[in-house]
Structure 1
């Protein structure tokens, strides 16, 4: 009884602290394959195989009541603490090599997600790539603005130089 309460308390904490939760069906995966999956997720998430009843109790205690439909049959939870996109990509890539892993859905920012929506997450670019693209766009905008501000001055200098050359040629 005490171990169940400790498990529920730990799961509740995981639900509260995670940025997202991805649910999978792990039937057919060996222990070594599950270990490989945990290693693939280690940077951004943790992977836990837990009984559905304990998961439902913990989710409700954490204020999440939208996962009941997904908690059917064997379920494993991926608690995402880093970038949800990276964790979704890791699950998708693992599922490509190990078809026994089935992504059932997830939970992100107060809303349940279908398996297709989790897959859409996996297709997004990582946060770092998006930030890099944003920085590049800002830099390009600043360069364009700087060019725009210096262009009239450069045109004036060219016009003055052309006038000078014209006067020199007329005077010679």
Structure 2
């Protein structure tokens, strides 16, 4: 039986982790076994720069925190070495970063296990699909481009009409100038 102090520390860790899970819009659970320190440092830096959190967590503590946060269904993947990446802003970046790292570093054994989005559990394949979505900035740019396209077309048509009108008026003026 652990001492009272150790038990209180673990309860605090679970409470803090549960709070982070509740605040997060997306989370990706990975098996980080076999990753080198250099690769891990590079991965952590990339996640941190975009505002994502990445932490190694004991499976038992993560199970308790997930239960407290109301996220059910991840228990089967919580075996072996486990780390979790959480984001409270961007739905895509953490999944994209981890999926790309797994794909590009075949020598490292970091593997995406599963994830969640807004409390709903995602399979490994779902996380891969999420990772292939364009970023928020790309989606906004595409939306603005599609909104801008009709306006641009309208301006082009007006310019063509105005140009044709000027040419016609110029031709009439030249014709009347020749007759006078």
Shared fold (TM-score, shorter chain, > 0.5): yes
Q: Distance in 2 between matches of 1:17 and 1:110?
A: 10
In the alignment, which of 11, 18, 30 is matched to residue 5 of structure 1? 11
Which of 70, 76, 79 is the equivalent residue of 2:86?
79
Q: State the SS of the aligned residue for 1:84.
A: coil
TM-score of the pair, normalised by structure 2: 0.81
* 2:41 aligned residue (35, 45, 54): 35
- Check conservation: 2:93, 2:131, Cα contact below 8 A: yes
Please, what TM-score do these two structures have when normalized by structure 1? Answer: 0.84
TM-aligned CA deviation for residue 17 of structure 1: 1.3
How far the C-alpha of 1:5 sits from its partner, in A, is 0.7
Q: Which of structure 1's runs of 4+ aligned residues deviate more than 6 A?
A: none
Say what the alpha-carbon RMSD is for the aligned residues.
Answer: 2.3
Change in 2 beyond 3 A, CA 1:160/1:31: closer
Q: Please say if residues 8 and 57 of structure 1, whose CA atoms lie closer than 8 Å, have aligned partners that are also in contact.
A: yes
SS at match of 1:104: strand
**1:133 alignment partner, one of 142, 160, 169:** 142
Which stretches in structure 1 are left out of the alignment for 5+ residues?
none
Which residue of structure 2 lines up, in the alignment, with residue 116 of structure 1?
125
Alpha-carbon distance, 1:162 to partner: 2.0
Change (3 A) 1:33 1:160: closer
Is residue 115–residue 124 contact of structure 2 (8 Å, CA) maintained in 1?
yes
Select which of 42, 58, 65 maps to 1:58: 65
Q: Distance in 2 between matches of 1:117 and 1:36?
A: 25
- Of 12, 15, 21, the residue aligned with 2:27 is 21
Whether the aligned pair in 1 keeps the contact of 2:73 and 2:121 (CA below 8 Å) is yes
1:165 aligns with 2:174: yes
Q: Is the 8 A contact 2:35 2:108 kept in 1?
A: no
Go from structure 1 to structure 2 and tell me whether the alpha carbon gap of 1:99 and 1:29 turns closer, same or farther (over 3 Å shift): closer
